[in-house]
Amino acid sequence: FLVSKGNRRHFMEKEIHEQPEVISHTLANYLDFSKGTIRANVTPIDFAKVDRIAASACGTAYYAGLIGKYWFEQIARLPVDIDVASEFRYREMPLSKDSLALFVSQSGETADTLASLRYCKQQGLTISSVVNVRESTMARESDAIFPTLAGPEVGVASTKAFTCQLSVLASLAVVAGKMRGTISDEDERRLVHELSEIPRYATQALKLEQQMEAISRDLSQVKHALYLGRGTSFPLALEGALKLKEISYIHAEGYAAGELKHGPIALIDESMPVIVIAPYDRWFEKTVSNMQEVAARGGKIILITDERGAAASTLKTMHTVILPDMPEIITPIVYAVPIQMLAYYTAVFMGTDVDQPRNLAKSVTVE
């Protein structure tokens, strides 16, 4: 079948803009917004009987899984081991039969992720996967499928599949929390309501497009960039750096902001842009102190925060992007939108082939 770009310049641009809608479809598969509860029979898996989750994935899907780890551990008190699939498959990690194997993949065909799935199957684990392609090999070989309803993703750089994966993982953490008795009915109602707000906030985030384009004009002049974040903003920093590398070919690295002192701070000088992802959450003050360290060395800060964060930080930045205040659980999903736009417009300014970047394939089906 043919998917068209509509009136957009690139598939990636179209897919970024589709996010409020596809996230909404995806969430509705797991959550009953009118009742404010998770849907009954969302999964055959009894999370109360699961002792750990052994997760693996590649690239952007791996970063989605890393964010999911924060949610499962915090909301459902369920420990998650996560690794890139190319390491997981050979690591011979001790696995217990009560562990749930979880794979995240847009295509459902990625060679290393599929090999990890088959390895876990051999070890007798229950296999579950978050996949976008329902007819894929991973979907067929799983005991439980958690679909993302992102629709076909054509751009090689993953955007809407990522935010839909996150929407599924956040919903599943609530499902697991409910089954394990780590959250109350009231917590469930609150979390379901907070998740139901993602499409509305994502729509607002899309309105930052002109500003993101203007910032990208500056970013397209640099050779290197650093992304920092704490908590769930840390894996999002990794994802931001990956997105920029993939399509603009600018060298970028993502770091947990607390790691700055342990090495990357040596890179900071007047020519280094530092993209700081810092919603006003429990980590905010800590991240601000890292920003001070960057500013003191002349680093150029691009701060992505919310209204409370912008009011609380008095630091001079090169650019400050202000999102509305929103519940903590949804920040990595909503903040993904400006992060994607930043990479997209930078690549547009560089004149690269945004949808088909050099050396990359949409689905990596060989090792």
Residues that are catalytic: 362
Which one among 113, 148, 171, 320 touches ligand AGP, defined by CB under 6 A?
113
Q: Is 59 in the site for ligand AGP (CB under 6 A)?
A: yes
* Shortest reach from residue 245's CB to ligand AGP, in Å: 10
* Shortest reach from residue 231's CB to ligand AGP, in Å: 22
Give, for 32, the enclosing helix (H) or strand (E): strand 31-32
Which one among 107, 128, 248, 331 touches ligand AGP, defined by CB under 6 A?
107
Distance CA 365, CA 359 (A): 14
Q: Is 196 in the site for ligand AGP (CB under 6 A)?
A: no
Which of residues 161 and 257 has its CB atom nearest to ligand AGP in the complex? Answer: 161
For residues 341 to 360, the per-residue mask of contacts with ligand AGP, x marking binding by CB under 6 A and - elsewhere, is: -------------------x
Cβ contact 133:107 at 8 Å: yes
How many residues make contact with ligand AGP (CB under 6 A)?
16
Which one among 56, 99, 105, 313 touches ligand AGP, defined by CB under 6 A?
105
> Which regions of 132-215 does DSSP assign to beta strands (E)?
144-147
* Shortest reach from residue 102's CB to ligand AGP, in Å: 13
Distance CA 307, CA 320 (A): 10
Q: Is 363 in the site for ligand AGP (CB under 6 A)?
A: yes
Which of residues 161 and 288 has its CB atom nearest to ligand AGP in the complex? Answer: 161
For residues 134 to 173, the per-residue mask of contacts with ligand AGP, x marking binding by CB under 6 A and - elsewhere, is: ----------------------xxx---------------
Cβ contact 61:104 at 8 Å: yes
Joined tokens for residue 101:
């194997």
The partner residues of 145 in beta bridges, in order of sequence, read: 129
Among the candidate windows 54-62, 168-176, 222-230, 302-310, which touches ligand AGP by CB under 6 A? 54-62
Among the candidate windows 22-30, 106-114, 211-219, 283-291, which touches ligand AGP by CB under 6 A? 106-114
Which of residues 59 and 177 has its CB atom nearest to ligand AGP in the complex? Answer: 59
Which one among 56, 86, 106, 317 touches ligand AGP, defined by CB under 6 A?
106
* SS3 assignment, position 352: coil
Q: Is 61 in the site for ligand AGP (CB under 6 A)?
A: yes
Contacts of 122 (CB under 8 A, 6+ apart): none
Q: Which of 37, 57, 30, 15 is nearest to 146 (CA)?
A: 30
Joined tokens for residue 103:
């794979």
**Which residue in this structure is represented by tokens 């903003």?**
233
Joined tokens for residue 99:
């562990």
Radius of gyration of the chain (CA): 20
Which of residues 105 and 232 has its CB atom nearest to ligand AGP in the complex? Answer: 105
Q: Residues 222 to 261: which contact ligand AGP by CB under 6 A?
A: 246
Q: Residues 296 to 335: which contact ligand AGP by CB under 6 A?
A: none
Joined tokens for residue 14:
């179209």
Cβ contact 56:196 at 8 Å: no
Q: Which of 273, 305, 360 is nearest to 60 (CA)?
A: 360
Cβ contact 15:159 at 8 Å: yes
Q: Is 83 in the site for ligand AGP (CB under 6 A)?
A: no
Q: Which residues bind ligand AGP (CB under 6 A)?
A: 58-61, 105-107, 110, 113, 156-158, 246, 360, 363-364
